[in-house]
Amino acid sequence: MAEGGKGTLQVSAVSMNLNGDRENSAIPITTSLPMNGGKGTYSYFNNSCSQRQCTEDEKRKFIEEIEQKLDMKKLFSLSNTIRLADLGCATGPNTFMIIQDILEAMQRKHQSQLSQSCFNDVQHSDDHQMPEFQVFFNDQESNDFNTLFTSLPQDRQYFAAGVPGSFHHRLFPESSIHFVHTSLCLHWISKSPEVLQNKASPTWNKGRIHHTSAPDEVVEAYASQFVEDMENFLNARAKELVPEGMMVMILVGIPKGTPYSEIPMGMMCNCLSSSLMDMAKEGIIEESKVDSFNLPFYAASLEEMEEILEKNGCFKIERMESTNPAAYLKGGPVDIPAWVTNVRAAMEGMFAKHFGSEVMEEMFGRLTDKLVDIADLINSRCEVKSQLLAVLKQGGQGTSQVSAVSVNLNGDRENSAKPVTVSLPMNGRNGIYSYSRNSYHQKLSAGLEKGKIIEEIEQKLDMKKLSSSSNTIHVADLGCSTGPNTFMIIHDILEAM
């Protein structure tokens, strides 16, 4: 699992703090910084191979999900362009490879849906030309986008764009993205919890740099920051994804109940702590610097993630599981120096900012020595399932209940004292919360079912019989609300008839 640990150390799109301002905070809240830029010895670009290896197995699984569950016909019916986003893309090249694989899976799926559609009904394939693809590469503003852009594949079959900013906020317009991928980023929390700095509290994390081997209060403080960040992340993505749009998340996890100190990543955190404490004792750095540093990452269990997703309610879980990220090692021993180089490419920025870049060589050197000393222990714990995969679709119970709040003809929300036990009509007229101005999501969602309805009409409705008895065909839409969605679906039904 220690090699798996290599894979779990990718630092990516994590914001400094919630108001987007990096430097204004007086207290030393550790924040995650982007990976080493450029293409040098310790650059992420040249040291991200193991991240790729760790996620190879997950890729196979979610490509399968795309092929089985992503309805390209539906997505394409909503837009002329299919838009993909890789959140926490870093500088490449992993992002280009995974995007290429996702794109090809989508093209295959589209092609197979197209030929199926042609087989069933030649007429139906009219609107199924190959879509154009646009890919948004996102990471923190301080990410090395220059390296990313100059490394873009020349023969790519998509329009590329870079999007700087924290994925804990909105990054894209409403309902504009069809597929989101994020790999080994979400375990990085937006900042280390402030309470860890409080010397008078049981959450003071003295002598440690992480929640590994820390009291429950410290672990809980980390967990609560993780929950807050995930909430922000999920709410932003729920807005941005089209209905039925897919999101794949791969993140560092831990089996429920396992102490983090018993998996290689935790062992590495402890070795880093003790390397820094040794350096403090030798006067190389200040001990108070160690006390105030808290690595901003948290490893959640499958159960924790499920609870967050359920509470959020904006997504349907298509697949969710914990896996062994080091499966590719096939039981072979961990290459410890290579692992440390990988850790360095991902984390050096954070440590250098806090402790000074002049001690980095020393710190990573000591880390290597300590890890080599416990290599057997690390190798014995290599098979812990410490990686989470979630394949989600936009549109859980949370997103379908927007709008229908109260009956109020001026379109403004009203706090009604009596319990809502009867269903009420959508907000009327054209106010800011009116249904007619807030039904874009519903329109897209309904659009997705259109195909099935139309197919049924075409196959099973006997127009000849219906029209034999009357000169006029009457169509009714029950629960039509105020439009304009009702008119669109009625149009399609009429057309089919």
129 binds a copy of itself (CB under 8 A): yes
CA distance 133 to 149: 17
125 binds a copy of itself (CB under 8 A): yes
Count Cα neighbours of 471 within 13 Å in the Cβ-side half-sphere.
0
Count the site residues for a copy of itself by CB under 8 A: 56
Is there a contact between 175 and 314 (Cβ–Cβ < 8 Å)?
no
Q: Which is nearer to a copy of itself, 22 or 52 (CB)?
A: 22
CA distance 136 to 257: 37
Crossing angle of helices 264-281/336-355, nearest 10°? 50
Contact letters (x/-) for a copy of itself, 405-444, by CB under 8 A? Answer: ------------------------xx-x-x-xxx-x----
Q: Is 319 helix (H, G, I), strand (E, B) or coil?
A: strand
**Least distance in Å: CB of 45 to a copy of itself?**
14
Q: Which is nearer to a copy of itself, 155 or 282 (CB)?
A: 155
**Least distance in Å: CB of 186 to a copy of itself?**
21
Beta-carbon neighbour count of residue 460 at 10 Å?
7
**Least distance in Å: CB of 160 to a copy of itself?**
7
Judge if the upstream peptide bond of residue 93 is cis by omega within 30 degrees of 0: yes
**Least distance in Å: CB of 227 to a copy of itself?**
26
CA distance 471 to 103: 50
Contact letters (x/-) for a copy of itself, 37-76, by CB under 8 A? Answer: ----------------------------------------
What residues from 169 to 208 belong to the interface with a copy of itself (CB under 8 A)? 170-176
21 binds a copy of itself (CB under 8 A): yes
**Least distance in Å: CB of 176 to a copy of itself?**
6
Q: Which stretch binds a copy of itself (CB under 8 A): 43-51, 119-127, 178-186, 313-321?
A: 119-127
**Least distance in Å: CB of 19 to a copy of itself?**
9
Between β-strands 132-139 and 159-164, what pairing exists: parallel, antiparallel or unpaired? Answer: parallel
157 binds a copy of itself (CB under 8 A): no
For 127-190, the DSSP string reads G-PPPEEEEEEEE-TTS-HHHHHHTS-TT-SSEEEEEES-TTS--S-TT-EEEEEEES-TTB-S
134 binds a copy of itself (CB under 8 A): yes
Contact letters (x/-) for a copy of itself, 75-104, by CB under 8 A? Answer: -----xx-----------------------
Q: Which is nearer to a copy of itself, 133 or 260 (CB)?
A: 133
Is there a contact between 441 and 402 (Cβ–Cβ < 8 Å)?
yes
Intra-chain end-to-end CA distance of the chain, in Å: 60
Quote the tokens at residue 179: 């597929």
Count Cα neighbours of 105 within 13 Å in the Cβ-side half-sphere.
21
Q: Which is nearer to a copy of itself, 386 or 445 (CB)?
A: 445
CA distance 153 to 490: 45
Chain residues binding a copy of itself by CB under 8 A are: 20-21, 80-81, 122-123, 125-127, 129, 132-134, 136, 141-142, 144-146, 149-150, 152, 154, 159-165, 170-176, 429-430, 432, 434, 436-438, 440, 471-472, 482-484, 487-488, 490-491, 494-495
